[in-house]
Amino acid sequence: MAQEIERKFLVQSDTWRSLAAGRYYCQGYLPTQGKQTVRVRIIGDQGYLTLKGPAIGISRSEFEYEIPLADAQAMLSELCQTPLIEKHRYHIPLGNVVWEVDDFLGENQGLIVAEVELAHAEQVVELPGWIGEEVTGDPRYYNASLVRNPFKNWGQPSKSP
């Protein structure tokens, strides 16, 4: 079984921007019951379907499959909840990990979150200077939650600059 083990942080400065080029992502979520998620995503000209189980600490099961682009487009427009999640994602290798920085667009404009996937839950990670508050486990920052309650509706939370 595939496992996703990650930590999530707010980004507190723009110094990371010179470290990588971003790619546009568009993704949506199919309605589910419970704490499982089903995500449809397009990156470039490739579609993906991802199923995730409920989180247990910072870990959860994850299964991702490539699907035809036309299928992903149809699922996003016909089956997924709105608003869709749009963002530029930057992959930044530092030390023995790769940081994924998501700079959100559309309804979530202004939110910038960095995630790091770990080999195991106890893995120690050196935090770059542009990393701010840890938000691992805060459901407001889950992409699936940003569909139901976009960042623009939050008011005055702790947010990225």
DSSP labels, 101-159? EEEE-GGGTT-EEEEEE-SSTT---PPPTTEEEE-TT-GGGSHHHHHHS-GGGS-S-S-
Any catalytic annotation for residue 29?
A: yes
* C-beta of residue 122 within 8 angstroms of C-beta of residue 5: no
- CA 57 vs CA 23, 88, 101, 119, 121: distances in Å: 29, 27, 21, 14, 9
Q: SS3 for 69?
A: helix
Residue in 24, 25, 29, 141 annotated catalytic: 29
Tally Cβ neighbours within 10 Å of residue 128: 18
What are the residue numbers of the active site? Answer: 29
